[in-house]
A and B are shown apart, each in its own frame.
Chain A
């Protein structure tokens, strides 16, 4: 892993440590006794603070996950080179697009 990827991986790890903690506390607190989709969306829609939080969460995950998967594939599958980098860029873009779409669906509309 080169220096740029290493810094990106560890930097996003710090952000994700905070974000995952908030996320876990939120989902465990929120699902007490079970919630319907209507209950969930009634609480989330229009909450711009959480929308901002989850957009940062998604961006950090879209950077962090492909770098980690890339390292594993390089070591365990001996897949290297440009094709691996392009595949991981595509994976990152997929996470970013789907994640932003999900955050907007739950917190904006």
Chain B
């Protein structure tokens, strides 16, 4: 018997919420960074130069992965609510995590 907090539905809800919180915290900073383009390409470039280090790259990878994960798990919620899809296995949750990790890896590899 699977303990309640290890059930796929619970894990999906927890991952959905945690990734959502990460995105909500990140979004204002992302907008502020992009707003630097108002000062011209040099202004934005000086900021981008500061972000070229392993810590920021890792954080970017995490956030892109979180975005993919939040979207995939959100689609799961919409499918359950709007189309009365009943998923009983960990397959959907695993697929959501796999898709988001793939997106994160693509982002990481493309930028290197």
Do A32 and B110 contact each other (CB < 8 Å), given the known contacts A20-B67, A68-B20? Answer: yes
> Does the CB pair A27–B107 fall under 8 Å?
yes
**B99 → A minimal CB distance (Å):** 10
Binding site for A on B (CB under 8 A): 17, 20-21, 23-24, 27-28, 30-38, 41-45, 47-48, 64, 67-68, 71, 74-75, 77-78, 81-82, 103, 106-107, 110-111
Binding site for B on A (CB under 8 A): 10, 13-14, 16-17, 20-21, 24, 27-28, 31-34, 36-38, 40-41, 61, 65, 68-69, 72, 91, 94-95, 98-99, 101-106, 109
> Does the CB pair B107–A28 fall under 8 Å?
yes
User: Of all chain A residues, which has the CB nearest B30?
Assistant: A102
> Does the CB pair B28–A24 fall under 8 Å?
no
